[in-house]
Amino acid sequence: MSMTIDLTDTEPMPEIKHESLINISSWFGKTPLINASGCLCATNKMLDELKTGDPAGICTKSCTLEPRPGNPEPRYWEHEEGMMTLNSMGLPNLGVDYYLDYFKTRDNEYDGWRCMSLAVLGPMEDTYQMLAKIIRPGVPVDAIEFNLSCPNLEGKEILAYDKPALKKILADLEAECQFLIARAHAKAYESDIDANGSYTPPQFGIKLPPYWQLQDYREIAKMINPMMFSFIHTINSVPNALVIDADREETVIHPKQGFGGLGGEIIKPIALANVRGFYLAFQELGHPWKKIKIIGCGGVSHGQDVFEMILAGADAVSVGSQLMIEGAGCIARINEELIEILRRKGYHSLDEFRGRLKVCAAATN
């Protein structure tokens, strides 16, 4: 027996908008975008403003145990057409308690990823004290990022460039975090502060400087792969760049003889190389499932930059200089541009092309 359906009698099919099939979520939220620590995140007001751009998460300015004034002004410069920035801020911040207070009190409606960036500048005891404030039941922090790559500290080299020292610091941080997590579990169990008496620790990540040799990616990936870290954030600004005002015959910023961290569109190829380098290095280690996520940072100002970062292997992407240049609204614009690129290319999610960068074929004569 055959059954026929009278199509004239059925409701018209609702039109499915192509965009509604496009999913740009990332492992930490509804989009791949977060701010790079340092940009629009030093005060409550800035953090509130940042959220108006609707990023999937927010990250605080890298903080220290006590408030810090940072380097003398002028310490930030922007190219007039927005293609680059130079900074030597020197980690000015309002102290760990200020940012914790923001997450605990001012921000309690926020449903995005909350990341606290901790500046690791020694003494380590300071970092441990900051961790002890965060790793406890009831503290609404989803991730802790250790900043080991600030290029702007007078008289100090970039920590993450000294590999033996980096290894020791990461091992010490891991041991301390594990101790604090065990303590938090016990406290949650005793006091029932967190729902059903269990404690969920934050994710831990590392903000890295740009590396230059392919061997560097392999060595760092091998170092951190067995550790507790669940993400790397690459790259911080390109260190010790110099911009000259030829009319005045002087540097454009004051600290460190005018040397500072370079950011903006101009550094994108270096950032892409670091994302790709780490993606391939982790793959070589036999972790194609990506135990350690990669947040790509550097020169992201358009949807196409995010597309390229993900194609190179990034799991998420951060926006730095463009937030300073354009304000929080750039996040929504970049997301829209990204959706438009996926629509044009026929992709439905970021997973469909993540890491799938092809090497162009060799020329034949």
Cα separation, 217 vs 292, whole angstroms: 13
Nearer to ligand SIN, 31 or 88 (CB): 88
Look up tokens 């020197």; give the residue: 90
Cα separation, 64 vs 277, whole angstroms: 30
Look up tokens 């990461």; give the residue: 170
Q: What letter would DSSP give residue 83?
A: S
Under the criterion CB under 6 A, does residue 127 sit at the interface with ligand SIN?
no
| Interface region with ligand SIN, contact rule CB under 6 A, candidates 143-151, 160-168, 287-295, 333-341 | 143-151
How many residues does the structure list for the chain?
365
Answer for which of 40, 56, 91, 188 binds ligand SIN (CB under 6 A) is 91
**Total binding residues toward ligand SIN, as defined by CB under 6 A:** 14
* Residue of 150, 177, 297, 330 with catalytic role: 150
Q: Which residues pair with 233 in a beta bridge?
A: 207, 295
Answer for which of 38, 258, 277, 355 binds ligand SIN (CB under 6 A) is 38
Least distance from ligand SIN to the Cβ atom of residue 52, Å:
23
Sign of CA dihedral 303, 305, 307, 309: negative
Least distance from ligand SIN to the Cβ atom of residue 94, Å:
13
CB 321 within 8 A of CB 263: yes
Q: Binding to ligand SIN (CB under 6 A): which residues in 238-277? A: 261
Cα separation, 259 vs 186, whole angstroms: 48
Cα separation, 182 vs 166, whole angstroms: 24
Least distance from ligand SIN to the Cβ atom of residue 36, Å:
9
Least distance from ligand SIN to the Cβ atom of residue 58, Å:
16
Strand ordering across the sheet containing 238-241: 76-78, 85-87, 260-263, 238-241
Active site residue 59: no
Under the criterion CB under 6 A, does residue 150 sit at the interface with ligand SIN?
yes
Nearer to ligand SIN, 147 or 203 (CB): 147
Under the criterion CB under 6 A, does residue 147 sit at the interface with ligand SIN?
yes
Applying CB under 6 A, the residues found at the interface with ligand SIN are 38, 62, 87, 89-91, 147, 149-152, 236-237, 261
Residues taking part in catalysis? 150
